[in-house]
Chain A
């Protein structure tokens, strides 16, 4: 049960990340935080053509997906880019396929060159 629960929670976490990334405004918010980390809602809202409330909802969704982490500086809530879930997706969905492509290329090279590897 423990293992099953773990797989299930991982799947839900990943779903949330992909859903969060499936929106251009949310991707823009991540880019804004990449260029300047630790911004307030007001600072971020200046760059988007939508109400503060809409920006706030996008930020909540990003936080829910763990793509941003927040903390307080006095009365200001600061948003920080949290790239950890993106790295996990990279490991799970990209690095694996890169490795198999490298292997395929190596095998092709061996065949073309007629060697035994």
Chain B
């Protein structure tokens, strides 16, 4: 069965450097995402996505490509699937300047259609990206997981 792919785009009034930092610095991600993204973000390094309050490691992966502040590509898997390569999905962040704004494109592919990961990310990305935009433009994130069970 072919793997599925989702593409999310958001325009943010910010500098590309700020957007790249907001994705990779745990003291920033915890403010709008409620999770810490932890890595040195060098190619080949591991990264993890940790719930900021419970410290539970939710996601793990590897840095495939890192070209700050333009592009970051990582693999993305539930911590419980760390050893199962077949369940590793891939996320690319592309940051381009468009006039005074930044166009952030998140391409999430290598997803198994109908999987828990696919359901999770299709609900998650619009929330996380809206919260990121609000955080960078106004200093106030949205309550990112409101209403999520």
Given A6-B13, A9-B13, A66-B11, answer yes or no on A38-B137 (Cβ-Cβ < 8 Å): no
**A91 and B130: CB pair below 8 A?**
yes
* Cβ of B52 under 8 Å from chain A: no
A71 touches B127 (CB 8 A): no
Residue interface bits B98-132, CB-to-A below 8 A is 1, else 0: 00110001010000000000000010011101100
Contact of B4 among A37, A71, A88 (CB under 8 A): A37
Q: Are B11 and A5 in contact (CB under 8 A)?
A: no
Q: Cβ of A69 and Cβ of B126 under 8 Å apart?
A: no
Least Cβ–Cβ distance between A20 and chain B, in angstroms: 14
Say whether A66 contacts B9, CB under 8 Å: yes
- The total of Cβ contacts below 8 Å across the A-B interface reads 50
Separation of A86 and B137 alpha carbons in the complex (Å): 18
Size of A's binding interface in residues, CB under 8 A: 19
Number of interface residues of B (CB under 8 A): 24
| B130 lies within 8 A of A69 (CB) | no
Chain A residues with CB under 8 A of B100? 5
Q: Closest residue to B109 on the A side, CB-wise?
A: A38
| A69 to B103 Cα, complex, angstroms | 11
Give the docked Cα–Cα distance between A95 and B5 (Å).
28
Query: Is chain A's interface secondary structure helix, strand, loop, or mixed overall?
Result: helix
Q: Quick check: is B145 within 8 A (CB to CB) of the other chain?
A: no
Chain B residues in 8 Å Cβ range of A5: 13, 100
The answer to whether A82 and B7 have CB atoms under 8 Å apart is: yes
Per-residue 0/1 for B1-23: is the Cβ within 8 Å of any A Cβ (1 yes, 0 no)? 00011111111010000000000
CB pair B107 A87 closer than 8 Å: no
B5 engages A84 (CB within 8 Å): no
- Within B64-84, the residues touching A (CB, 8 Å) are none
Interfacial chain B residues near A37, Cβ < 8 Å = 4-6
In the assembly, what is the distance between CA of A83 and CA of B10, in Å?
10
| Cβ A84 vs Cβ B129 within 8 A | yes
Q: Which residue of A lies closest to B99 (CB)?
A: A9
Tell me which residues across on chain B come within 8 A of A13, comparing CB atoms.
11
* Chain A residues within CB distance 8 Å of chain B: 2, 5-6, 9, 13, 37-38, 66, 69, 71, 80, 82-84, 86-88, 91, 95
Residues of B with Cβ closer than 8 Å to A?
4-11, 13, 100-101, 105, 107, 122, 125-127, 129-130, 133, 137, 142, 146-147
